[in-house]
Amino acid sequence: MAILLHYEALFQLNKNLSKVAHIPPRFRVLIGVGAIFMAHVLEIWLFALGYFFTLQFPVMGGLVGNLSGHGILMDCAYLSFVTFTTLGYGEIVAQGHLRYLTGVEALTGFILITWSASFLFIEMQAYWTAHKSTQGKHD
């Protein structure tokens, strides 16, 4: 689901950023960054909900470590943010079968973050190329 969400976010950005041609290209890049950031947050929360629902079945494993005391959902969200971004602080650790979900999330996060970086690079390259050709005409 996270991959599909990400694909759709990038597809819609690619399709719709050109429709806001009246906005300077550098601000279109910022719109792209903001939209991609929100897509990543949603993807992270998808995994957090996956952890939360999996934890409802004790046979699947559990979380150990420095749990926040703010509720298991927030601990799942924190674990998801740290895992998706591949930071892996280790304060909260999944045990049992739940460990495999963390591996899937880390790989998914790595792929989606690099996909986002590639997309933004192409957008920025288009801006820089257009900016340089415009700048050359005014010099």
pLDDT digits (tens, 9 = 90+) for 23-42: 887 788 889 999 999 999 99
Q: Specify the residue for token string 């943010």.
A: 81
Q: Is the pLDDT of residue 136 over 80?
A: no
Give the torsion through C-alpha atoms of 38, 93, 67, 112, to 10 deg: 0
Q: Identify the band that residue 18 occupies on the pLDDT scale cut at 50, 70 and 90.
A: confident
pLDDT digits (tens, 9 = 90+) for 81-106: 999 999 988 899 999 999 999 999 99
pLDDT at 139: 46
Q: Is the dihedral of CA 70, 76, 79, 82 positive or negative?
A: negative
Mean pLDDT, residues 123-136: 66
Q: Is the pLDDT of residue 138 over 60?
A: no
Mean pLDDT, residues 40-65: 96
In sequence order, which ranges of the chain are alpha helices (DSSP H)?
Answer: 2-17, 25-54, 72-84, 98-138
CB 84 within 8 A of CB 40: yes
pLDDT at 70: 86
